[in-house]
Amino acid sequence: MDAQRNNAKGPQLQEGKATQMEGPDLESVIERAQGHDAEALGEIYRLYVRRVFGLCRYMLDSRESAEDATSEVFLKLQRSIESYDGSIPFPRWLLRVAGNQCIDALRRRKRGRQVIVEVEEGAAVIEAASSEPSPLGAVLSTEERAQVRDAIARLPENYRVPLVLRYYGELSYDEIAQQLGLQRNYVAALLFRAKQELRRKLGHRSK
Amino acid sequence: MECYSEQIVSIFVDGELAVEEARRLRDHLATCRRCRQLLDALRAENRVLSESLQELPEEAASPAGFARLPWSLGWGDVVVVAAVLAVGSIVVGWIDKLSIPEALQWLDPFSLNGRTNLIFNLSYYFAHGGTAMLDDYAAVVGKFFLLLLLGGSALLLGRRWRLHQPGLRLLIVLLALSLSGFALERRHSEVVTVAANQTVDDTLLASGNIVRVEGVVNGDLLAFGGSVEVRGTVKGDLVSFAKRTVVSGTVEGNIYNFSNSLDLDGQLGHNIYGFVQSLRVNDRGRVGGGMVVGAGDVSLEGEVNRSVTMYAGNADVSGSVGRELTMTGDNLTLTNTARIGGNLSARVRQLKNVHIADGATITGTRDIQVRVRQSHFARPRFYFYQAVWLAAAMLVGWLGLVLFPGFFQASTHAVGSGWRSLGLGVGVLAGVPVAIVVTAITLVGLPASLMLLALYLAAIYLAKVWVGAFLGQMLLKPAGATKSDWLLGLLVGLLILTIIGFIPYLGGLVRLGVVCLGLGAFAWQLYRALRPAITA
């Protein structure tokens, strides 16, 4: 039963892995998609659905909502792709769009409230030098990676969202700050604290 | 020079430190071993994070995943499409040949006439006390779920998934065998007549505007039509699905009847089971067994040998009942000539609606209960039943959550889509009965329609569970999405729904809304589950 479930985890997303499109090819596909070519849009879907779903899955708390958000992203892509100007790599742009979609979804759930609220004054200043750093080890086994993933999924939302946007979506601090409506400094602090919390969780687990 | 804080180094590793500060840090790194080690460690950590995030999180971390069908979806699709096409072609062929006869137009939901008739009849029925049987209907559904619960528990405890499949296959095979098993003579025309000197040896399936039996049918008579008249003899059962059914001859078996009206003038060997608007047993009519009917109006002038159980808006008894008479509904009248061999028990809304003439003979006790809404709350039994109902719903919820975790949670979630669920739910609530009837008419689809009916009833029951769970979750807003959170939410939601459900008028509306919402969520989820992959 478990094996079946693992197989079925990603919604048939293996295709995206299989082929990585080269620059010029991708450009032409994007151009065609911007001209509302259904085939090109399908190609983009095939290439990136896995990455987009992954981001949504990490950011939202159920597979169901992640699927919904993924669908939304690609549905809206028909229009939104017109605004893509090639200034940043397409995958990153797409993940930014997906990140926005997820934040919208989180906001909707909280009925319009801000997803992450700056609570502490001067939160960006953290005297971390005092604590001896013990970052996560360099090489991880499959099982350990799964533990890390599990720990990330269990992080509180205000840590999880920026962490995933940064290390999965590879968004810059500024982009994250813009999406979440936060100060750049605060994003840095959140990321830092998220990692500390992650270490604490994983350290706690191995003991 | 003083070392940099871990956070600054971390920002540097992320490549987000301001140019000037980054340059100073780089200078410092050249001289400080400790900071270099920190830098390496943080870089490694970032790598770990990126690598770990390459794969998707374990479903266990958030249990809302939907366990997909294990078999290859590509082939699965082909199989499903093939099966649907095959079944579809058979059904279409059938319907084509059948070409709903004129006589059944009153029942054809696609014609305006049929629709108005159906709606009129239904509303008439419910308006005239037909609702009385809804409680009992709920009890039947409850029992059904108890069985399901027991079966499910056994399945769960034994974890004998392998046993489960052969069992299912056996059921299918049995169904298939039972279908082709009986000999059947089919007749279809405007007027189907078995003449007085004619004998049909097999079961007769007759459909037409008028189905008239003046001769003898040795098997069962399955009749579909505008008017079904039995003047001769049916040695088996009479199953009739008609606007008007008149039996003035003899039926030696049982009568199963779904008609607008059923008149029994003649002799019946065994029992009547019916769901009719108007049932009349005339003074010449004689029922060898008993009667279980749901009807708008019942008029009992003849003789019934055994017990009579009826859910009726109006019941007039002037004939005789051999044993108990049990009635639930609005009006009951026993005339001077009425004779009840056993106890009389009636549950009515108002005592003044029961008229028992002085001359009426009742051998046993008289038990007339007035069903007053308020009295519910005064009786401890009521609370006991509510507790049992709640426990059963919780158990069903738990069982569903254990057996189909993804589906149940997703259905709960789908309730949140509000209007989509509600709209879809209204459509399903109204559409499925039509589909059931249409499937049933084709007869070959009778098992399919029964299964559909079972699924429909189950979904109606489960609607409360999903809406309850959703409501609970909305109110409690649990931090996690664990099973116990879900169940706690379910308990809270069900309690609220139960309490609201008892508010007069509003309660009924809320219940209807809950059923629609839940059904819609279920239908939507079913659609999603059967859909091969997420589609953009």
- The verdict on B397 and B463 lying in the same domain is yes
Are B386 and B347 in the same domain?
no
| Facing B41 at nearest CB: one of A57, A133, A146 | A133
Q: Flag whether B255 is in a domain.
A: no
Same domain, B325 and B438: no
Distance separating alpha carbons of residues A183 and A165, to the nearest angstrom: 15
Please, which pLDDT band fits residue A140 given cuts at 50, 70 and 90? low
In-domain check, residue B321? yes
Length of chain B: 536
Q: Does residue A97 lie within any of the structural domains?
A: yes
Residue of A9, A167, A189 with shortest CB distance to B50: A167
**Touching A: B residues 390-409, CB under 8 Å:** 406, 409
Cβ contact (<8 Å) for B5 and A62?
no
Helix, strand, coil share of chain A (percent; to 5): 70, 0, 30
Residue B463 and residue B360 share a domain: no
Q: Is A197 part of any domain?
A: yes
Summarised one tens digit per residue, pLDDT across range A164-177 is 889 888 888 998 88
ipTM of the complex: 0.75
Half-sphere exposure at residue B350, Cβ-oriented, CA atoms within 13 angstroms: 6
Contact A192 B10 (CB under 8 A): yes
> What CA–CA distance (Å, rounded) separates A176 from B238?
74
Q: Does a structural domain hold residue B126?
A: no
**Residue in chain A nearest B49 by alpha carbon:** A167
Q: How far apart are the first and last CA of chain B?
A: 56
CATH number at residue A95: 1.10.1740.10
**pLDDT beyond 60 at B129:** no
Tell me phi and psi for residue B276, to 5 degrees.
-135, 165
Cβ distance B264 to B285 under 8 Å? yes
Which of the listed residues A109, A129, A150 is the one where a domain comes to its end? Answer: A109
**Interchain pair B536, A45: CB under 8 A:** yes
- Distance between CA atoms of B273 and B287, rounded to whole angstroms? 12
CB contacts of B6 in chain A (<8 Å) are: 128-129, 131, 133, 192
Q: Does A146 lie in the same domain as A105?
A: no
B186 is a domain residue: no
Same domain, B383 and B442: yes
Instruction: State the Cα–Cα distance between residues B158 and B137, nearest whole angstrom.
Output: 31
Residue A134 lies in a domain: no
Residues 474-493 in B contacting A (C-alpha not used; CB under 8 Å) = 481
Q: Name residues whose C-beta falls within 8 Å of residue B290's C-beta, 6 or more positions apart in sequence.
A: B271, B272, B304, B305, B306, B307, B308, B309, B323
| Count: domains in chain B | 3
Domain range for A59 is: 8-109
Indicate the residue among A59, A91, A109 that finishes a domain. A109
pLDDT of res. B402: 78
Within 13 A of A148's CA, how many CA atoms are on the CB side? 29
Shared-domain flag, residues A157 and A76: no
Task: Specify the amino acid at residue B351.
Answer: L
Highest mean pLDDT: which range of B151-160, B209-218, B459-468: B209-218
The answer on B520 and B418 residing in a single domain is yes
Residue B80 covered by a domain: no
C-alpha atoms less than 13 angstroms from C-alpha of B184 in its C-beta half-sphere:
14
Reported as type and span, the H/E element at residue B65 is none
Query: Does residue B513 share a domain with residue B391?
Result: yes
Among left, alpha and beta (phi > 0; psi -120 to 50; other), residue B161 is alpha
Cβ contact A166:A176 at 8 Å: yes
**Is residue A135 one of the residues assigned to a domain?**
no
Question: Sorting pLDDT into bands at 50, 70 and 90, what band is B79?
Answer: low
Partner-chain residue, chosen from A126, A145, A166, that has the shortest CB–CB distance to B51: A145
Number of cross-chain residue pairs from A and B with Cβ atoms under 8 Å apart: 157
Same domain, A31 and A104: yes
- B339 and B433 together in one domain: no
Give residue B467's identity as a one-letter amino acid code: V
Structure tokens at A113: 């409230």
Largest Cα separation within chain A, whole Å, is: 57
Q: Which of A58-67, B286-295, B369-378, B466-475 has the highest mean pLDDT?
A: B286-295
Secondary structure, 3-state, B71-134 = CCHHHHHHHHHHHHHHHHHHHHHHHHHHCCCHHHCCCCCCCHHHHHHHHHHHHHHHHHHHCHHH
Q: What b/e sequence results for B487-497 when a residue is b if at least 16 CB atoms lie within 10 Å of its CB, and e otherwise?
A: bbbbbbbbeeb
- What pLDDT, on a 0 to 100 scale, did the predictor assign at position B476? 78
A147 shares its domain with A202? yes
Residue B377: C-alpha distances to residues A201, B144, B350, B510 (Å): 51, 26, 18, 19
Helix (H, G, I), strand (E, B) or coil at B224: strand
Give the domain-ending residue among B371, B392, B411. Answer: B371
Q: Is residue A129, in this structure, part of any structural domain at all?
A: no
> Is A57–B56 a contact, with Cβ atoms under 8 angstroms apart?
yes
Q: At B116, is the pLDDT very low, low, confident or very high (cuts 50, 70, 90)? A: low
Task: With respect to residue A150, please indicate whether it lies within any of the assigned structural domains.
Answer: yes
**CA-based nearest residue to B403, from A67, A64, A57, A1:** A1
B403 with B515, same domain: the answer is yes
Q: Is residue B497 part of a domain?
A: yes
The string of pLDDT tens digits covering residues B356-380 is: 888 888 888 888 887 665 556 666 7
Q: How many CA atoms, within 13 angstroms, populate the side-chain half-sphere of residue B206?
A: 31
pLDDT single digits (tens) B166-195: 555 555 555 544 443 445 677 878 888 888
Same domain as A173, residue A81 = no
Q: Tell me what the mean pLDDT of segment B260-282 comes to.
A: 89
Determine the number of helices (DSSP H) and then strands (DSSP E) in chain B: 14, 23
pLDDT bracket for residue A20 (50, 70, 90): low
pLDDT at res. B88 = 57
Are B299 and B317 part of one and the same domain?
yes
Pair (A97, A175) in one structural domain: no
Which residues in chain A have Cβ-Cβ distances shorter than 8 Å to B56?
9-10, 53-54, 57-58, 149
Q: Are residues A99 and A182 in the same domain?
A: no
Q: Same domain, yes or no, for B402 and B363?
A: no
- Three-class secondary structure of residue B364 per DSSP: coil
Total residue count of chain A as it appears in this document = 207
Residues A69 and A24 in one domain: yes
For position A9, what pLDDT does the model report?
40
Contact assignment for A195 to B10 by CB distance below 8 Å: yes
Question: Which CATH number covers residue A183?
Answer: 1.10.10.10
Q: Which of A1, A2, A5 to mutate to test the interface with B (most CBs of B within 10 A)?
A: A5
Count: domains in chain A: 2
Q: Do B409 and A71 touch (CB under 8 A)?
A: no
Q: Is residue A121 a part of any domain in this protein?
A: no
E strands, B290-427, are 291-300, 303-304, 308-317, 320-321, 325-334, 339-340, 344-348, 354-356, 361-362, 366-370
Question: Final residue of a domain: which of B337, B355, B371?
Answer: B371
Contact B70 A4 (CB under 8 A): yes
Q: How far off is chain B from A34, nearest CA to CA, in Å?
A: 16
Same domain, A15 and A104: yes
Nearest chain A residue (CA) to B44: A138
| Beta carbons of B51 and A77 less than 8 Å apart | no
Q: What is the mean pLDDT of chain B?
A: 76
A85 with A166, same domain: the answer is no
Please list every residue in chain A whose beta carbon sits closer than 8 Å to the beta carbon of residue B70: 4, 7-8
- Classify residue B62: in a domain, yes or no: no
Question: What separation in angstroms does the CA of A105 have from each of A60, A77, A193, B313?
Answer: 8, 17, 24, 51
> Cα-flanking dihedrals φ and ψ of residue B228, to 5°?
-115, 120
Dihedral angle of Cα A100, A102, A105, A111, to the nearest 10 degrees:
-70
Selection from B293, B296, B291 nearest residue B320 by Cα: B291
What's the rounded Cα separation, in Å, for the pair A6 and A172? 32
- Expressed as residue numbers, the domain containing B37 is 6-49
Q: Write down the pLDDT at residue A134.
A: 55
Task: Give the number of other CB atoms < 10 A from CB of residue B418.
Answer: 10
Query: Which B positions 10-49 lie with beta carbon below 8 A of chain A?
Result: 10-11, 14, 16, 38, 41-42, 44-49
Select the residue of B5, B6, B59 nearest A9 (Cβ to Cβ). B59
CA–CA separation, A104 and A68 (whole Å):
12
- Max CA pair span of chain B: 120
Is the minimum CB–CB distance between B6 and chain A shorter than 8 Å? yes
User: What are the CA-CA distances from residue B358 to residues B79, B170, B330, B362 (Å)?
Assistant: 69, 58, 20, 10
Give tens-digit pLDDT for A178-206: 888 888 888 898 898 888 888 888 875 44
Q: What b/e sequence results for B213-248 when a residue is b if at least 16 CB atoms lie within 10 Å of its CB, and e otherwise? A: bbbbbebbbbbbbbbbbbbbbbbbbbbbbbbbbbbb
Q: Dump pLDDT digits (tens) for A47-89.
A: 888 888 888 888 887 788 888 888 888 888 888 888 888 888 8
Same structural domain, A147 and A100? no
CB–CB contact B62 A153 (8 Å) = yes
Q: Are residues A81 and A150 in the same domain?
A: no
Q: Could you tell me where the DSSP H helices lie in B404-445?
A: 405-415, 419-441
Which of A95, A126, A138, A121 has its CA nearest to residue A197? A126
Q: Is residue B96 part of a domain?
A: no
| B524 shares a domain with B383 | yes
Q: Does residue A127 fall inside a structural domain?
A: no
